[in-house]
Structure 1
């Protein structure tokens, strides 16, 4: 699967965007279908009992909520595709591109939040606390957990397929930005030492490096949640939450983006970044 995804990356930005476009709607339909299918299995007793047994004066609760912030930051992050999205809209709509982008993203956010939150609550109400702990210990997806719990042939067959498609979509979207950044970095280094490479060669080197790192991570099979909580989520928060808020205040051309919501974004970024500091201690 890693080889196939990297072959798609080598075909360029247009192929990646087209592949992601084909993957999005089947995933949305599947998530909504699974969420609706699980409704008869909802057990509010576990949920209500968990809330009733929760003590808000215990450090463990706030520690869990604290580490959940980087996970949410990572889960809803789509920054790597923004550059290509904005570039495409700019070429199509010119001066109207900014308004067009804002409109598309507004509708996309609503659709994503409704679909994802409905799926999350449906899973939480259908699985017990023990099921969740077992999935975390085995480092498996919630779709695999649902397939094992309900013994439904449809979920058993489609669940892993949809999980692979979701991972493929996330990988393509993330890798697009990573490859562009790595290509720019390699180009800058080679020019600094007086041995510049062609654009094609730098792209191949960045793609090969990404392939090797991805393959190593696949073989290593680390805990996905642990990496998100302590590394990926906080770093994304620093890049997307903290640095832009500084730029909004420091760069005169970005003054138009100053708003009261900047404070909320900055605070959430600092909370997520603190998880990285905690993980290094």
Structure 2
């Protein structure tokens, strides 16, 4: 028993995966999370704090178990879907999986380009006269460098991501600590628990759920983690994967919620309203409110660049799986291996560069469409399999499963509501 526990302990390689999961989930959106979560005061923040770990861990564990259910280490989510849903159903899941992740990848490529250009112009005072030529060159360099890392393989991606995560975590913690002397009680003013009888209270909570889901979402890298565990740990694959996912989610919740609560305690609900109206991230707004924090005007874009770069790499793993699966299934198995990976890399580079350069206005809408699809694949699909197929019978737990079903339906409905509005 003791030997088995020692085998399940996290190794150095496992810890790189912990950091990679963290890196995939926590992107530049964390700089807007305090604003979106803090707009309605204390109660939504407490809800996020209470639900973040169980909701994130259970959903991602279920998705990981779905991939682990096939012991073949080469069978990722696209191949396992075909096992359970047949050729057409497997192809449909693969297409949905790809189109849920690719838009997020494109958003990162466009936002990385915009953020770097704004940093060069506003902070480093570059000439902004020929901005289109600047955007063409910078978009090429950013996408080329990230794609170069991506095509070097999963091991290189996880190493680079784990390297980028450390300074990112350090900066968030340092900023949270910096804000402690500015903490006040404004967050606790006008907290009216009798408002639970007001329908608006539940509408607020309803709309907070998708913010939380997508703030901690690392589903694009879960399939790669499952395949890695199958390859490395055989019968201990599930135990290892659970441990890695749990450690990563704990790290996410501790770091992100400490940062969010520190920002919420240093500002008032009115400040969050102003920040939302100004459409700036939390660090930019804090640098305006507190003169001693002017350095944040320089730090914010750097944090955003690091955050989006590591999230791009994590999402590429999922996007690559999706497109490789589409090519394999559409060609009846003729396009696979190095050929599929080459086509995927070239396609991803060209479309990411194009979107990064053109920065079309519809990109946000496309990202919003991917949100409900991703929530369906993360929450509902694994749950359906658990009760549809006997191989998953041992995983059935009605309390956890009802919780995930409810949270999934809430997240999907709220995401669709956000898209329609």
- Give the TM interval when normalised to the shorter protein: 0.7 to 0.9
User: Would you say the 8 A contact 1:141–1:163 is kept in 2?
Assistant: no
User: Would you say the 8 A contact 2:324–2:336 is kept in 1?
Assistant: no
Alignment of 1:261-280 (within 5 A): 261-278=400-417, 279-280=419-420
Deviation per residue, 1:198-248 (Å, 9 max, x gap):
533432333344345444654136796x877x5344322211111111100
Distance 1:141 1:207, change over 3 A: farther
Counterpart for residue 124 of structure 1: 264
Q: Does 1:64 align with 2:204?
A: yes
Count of equivalent residues: 275
Counterpart for residue 300 of structure 2: 159
Distance 1:38 1:234, change over 3 A: same
Q: SS of the counterpart of 1:261?
A: helix
Identify which of structures 1 and 2 has the higher relative contact order when contacts are C-alpha pairs closer than 8 Å and 6+ apart: 2
Q: 1:191 aligns with which of 332, 354, 371?
A: 332
Which deviates more from structure 2 when the two are superposed, residues 257-266 or residues 55-64? 55-64
User: Would you say the 8 A contact 2:288–2:294 is kept in 1?
Assistant: no
Deviation per residue, 1:233-273 (Å, 9 max, x gap):
43222111111111000111111111120110011111111
Distance 1:58 1:214, change over 3 A: farther
User: Would you say the 8 A contact 1:90–1:97 is kept in 2?
Assistant: yes
User: Would you say the 8 A contact 1:73–1:233 is kept in 2?
Assistant: no
C-alpha RMSD over aligned residues: 2.8
Counterpart for residue 252 of structure 1: 390
Distance 1:221 1:133, change over 3 A: farther
Q: Under a length normalisation based on structure 2, what TM-score does the superposition of the two structures give?
A: 0.59
Q: Under a length normalisation based on structure 1, what TM-score does the superposition of the two structures give?
A: 0.85
Q: SS of the counterpart of 2:331?
A: helix
User: Would you say the 8 A contact 1:249–1:258 is kept in 2?
Assistant: yes
CA distance in 1, matches of 2:144, 2:279: 22
Counterpart for residue 290 of structure 2: 150
Q: 1:210 aligns with which of 339, 348, 363?
A: 348
Alignment of 1:165-176 (within 5 A): 165-176=306-317
Counterpart for residue 234 of structure 1: 372
Segments of structure 1 that go 5 or more residues without pairing to the other structure are none
Distance 1:133 1:204, change over 3 A: farther
Deviation per residue, 1:160-207 (Å, 9 max, x gap):
212211111212111210111112112322338xxx445334323333
Distance 1:53 1:106, change over 3 A: closer
User: Would you say the 8 A contact 1:245–1:262 is kept in 2?
Assistant: yes
Distance 1:172 1:198, change over 3 A: same
Segments of structure 2 that go 5 or more residues without pairing to the other structure are 1-141
Q: Does 1:15 align with 2:153?
A: no
Distance 1:48 1:276, change over 3 A: closer
Q: 1:78 aligns with which of 218, 228, 238?
A: 218
CA distance in 2, matches of 1:159, 1:199: 40
